[in-house]
C-alpha cells in the first residue's frame, strides 16, 4: 500500500475526535495530522502531529499542505445549526469560504480524496418529513442548512468540473461519549446522558415530542470510513448521501435512560432550537447509501443507550467526570 497521510481539519470536534482515533489506528498515529483552531490540552493530541489552524487562513492551509503532503483530507470544521444562527455571517464564511479554501488547496496540492460532511439540515419545512428521500424538495431555513446544501452542490461541481474525488454523507444528529457535541440542535441527545448520570435530571431545550433522526457515533465513524474507502465507481452520488440510524423524541429517550438510571427526571423548556428541529425531517430514507456502497448501521436506540451508559457511568462513579 502506498503511504497515506491523512489531514483532519476540525479534529477536536465531536466527529473529529473519534475519527482521529480511528484513522490513527488505520494509518498509524504519525500519519494522521490533526488540525483545529483550538489547542487542546489532552495528551491524546500530543501523541500525533497537531497543528493549530483556522480554516479561514488560506495561507496556513497551503503551508500545511506543502509541509505534510496529505493524500486525504477530512474537512470537518463548521459552525453547527444553533451556533451559526447566533452569528449568521460567520456561519456562512466559515462553512463556505472554508470549503472553497480546502477544495482549491486539495486541487493545487494533488490531494487524492476529500471527505466533507453534510447534514439533515439541508432539508426544510417543505421536505417530506417521514422517510425523507435522497432527492426531494430542499428548502433549508437555517444558515447552517443553507451552507450545507450549497456545499453539497459544490462537492458535485468540483467532482464533475475538476475531477476532485470528494465524498460526503448527510449526518443526522450524532450521539457519542468521547467528545462534547458542538453547538447543534441535536446536542440534547448527548447532554441528557451526562445530566442523568451527574444530577439525575435534565431540562431539555426541545419539546417532548420532537422526533429527529439520530446516529450513534461508532456508526457515524463506520459510515465515514466506508464511504471514503469504497471504490470510486461505487460512489454514484457526488453531492451527499442520506444515512440513517434511528429516530426518537426526547420523551422516548428519557424513558430508555430511566431503565438504567431509575431516578432520572426530564423537564422541557423549548428554546429557539425548537424551530430549527421542527424544520427538519423525522426519519431518513438511506436506500442509496445501502445499495451503492453497502451502508448498514449496527446500533439501534436500545443498543445506543446501553452503550452510552456503560461507557459514561463508571466515569461519573470514579469522579473522572
- For the annotated catalytic residues, the residue numbers are 144
Q: How far is the CB of 120 from ligand SER (least distance, A)?
A: 6
Measured from each CB, the residue nearest to ligand SER is: 184
Q: How far is the CB of 178 from ligand SER (least distance, A)?
A: 16
Q: How far is the CB of 185 from ligand SER (least distance, A)?
A: 4
**Binding residues for ligand SER (CB under 6 A):** 80-81, 119-121, 144, 171, 173-174, 184-186
3 state SS for the chain: CCCCCEEEECCCCHHHHHHHHHHHHHHCHHHEEEEECCCCCCHHHHCCCEEECCCCCHHHHHHHHHHHCCCEEEECCCCCHHHHHHCHHHHHHHHHHHHHHHHHHHHHCCCCEEECCEEHHHCCCCCCCCCECCCCCCCCCCHHHHHHHHHHHHHHHHHHHHCCCEECEEECEEECCCCCCCCCCCCHHHHHHHHHHHHCEEEECCCCCCCEEEEEHHHHHHHHHHHHHCCHHHCCCCCCEECCCEEECHHHHHHHHHCCCCCCEEEECCCCHHHHHHCCCCCECCHHHHHHHCCCCCCCHHHHHHHHHHHHHHHHHCCCC
Pick 45 or 299: Cβ nearer ligand SER: 299
Q: How far is the CB of 209 from ligand SER (least distance, A)?
A: 18
The three cell numbers of residue 24 are 490513527
Instruction: List Cα–Cα distances, 231 to 50, 88, 227, 286, in angstroms.
Output: 29, 37, 9, 19
Pick 17 or 186: Cβ nearer ligand SER: 186
Cell 476529500 -> residue: 114
Q: How far is the CB of 12 from ligand SER (least distance, A)?
A: 16
Pick 121 or 204: Cβ nearer ligand SER: 121
Q: How far is the CB of 232 from ligand SER (least distance, A)?
A: 26
Are 83 and 41 spatial neighbours (Cβ–Cβ below 8 Å)?
Answer: no
Amino acid at each position: 500500500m502506498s503511504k497515506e497521510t491523512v489531514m483532519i481539519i476540525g479534529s477536536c470536534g465531536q466527529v473529529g475526535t473519534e475519527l482521529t482515533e480511528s484513522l490513527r489506528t488505520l494509518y498509524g498515529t504519525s500519519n494522521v495530522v490533526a488540525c483545529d483552531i483550538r489547542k487542546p490540552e489532552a495528551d491524546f493530541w500530543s501523541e500525533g502531529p497537531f497543528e493549530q489552524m483556522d480554516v479561514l487562513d488560506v495561507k496556513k492551509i497551503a503551508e500545511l499542505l506543502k509541509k505534510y503532503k496529505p493524500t486525504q483530507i477530512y474537512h470537518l470544521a463548521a459552525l453547527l445549526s444553533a451556533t451559526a444562527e447566533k452569528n449568521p455571517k460567520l456561519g456562512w464564511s466559515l462553512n463556505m469560504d472554508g470549503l472553497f479554501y480546502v477544495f482549491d488547496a486539495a486541487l493545487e496540492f494533488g490531494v487524492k480524496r476529500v471527505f466533507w460532511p453534510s447534514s439533515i439540515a439541508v432539508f426544510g419545512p417543505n421536505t417530506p418529513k417521514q422517510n425523507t428521500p435522497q432527492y426531494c424538495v430542499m428548502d433549508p431555513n437555517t444558515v447552517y442548512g443553507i451552507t450545507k446544501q450549497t456545499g453539497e452542490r459544490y462537492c458535485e461541481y468540483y467532482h464533475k468540473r475538476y475531477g476532485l474525488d470528494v465524498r460526503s454523507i448527510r449526518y443526522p444528529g450524532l450521539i457519542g461519549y468521547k467528545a462534547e457535541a458542538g453547538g447543534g440542535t441535536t446536542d440534547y441527545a448527548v447532554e441528557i446522558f451526562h445530566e442523568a448520570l451527574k444530577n439525575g435530571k435534565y431540562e431539555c431545550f426541545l419539546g417532548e415530542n420532537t422526533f429527529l433522526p439520530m446516529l450513534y457515533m461508532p456508526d457515524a465513524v463506520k459510515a465515514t470510513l466506508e464511504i471514503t474507502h469504497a471504490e470510486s465507481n461505487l460512489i454514484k452520488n457526488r453531492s451527499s448521501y442520506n444515512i440513517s440510524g434511528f429516530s426518537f423524541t426526547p420523551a422516548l429517550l428519557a424513558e430508555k435512560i430511566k431503565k438504567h438510571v431509575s431516578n432520572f427526571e426530564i423537564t422541557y423548556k423549548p428554546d429557539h432550537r425548537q424551530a430549527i428541529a421542527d424544520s427538519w425531517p423525522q426519519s431518513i430514507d438511506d436506500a442509496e447509501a445501502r445499495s451503492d456502497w453497502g451502508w448498514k448501521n449496527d446500533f439501534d436506540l436500545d443498543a445506543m443507550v446501553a452503550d452510552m451508559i456503560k461507557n459514561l457511568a463508571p466515569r461519573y462513579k470514579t469522579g473522572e467526570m
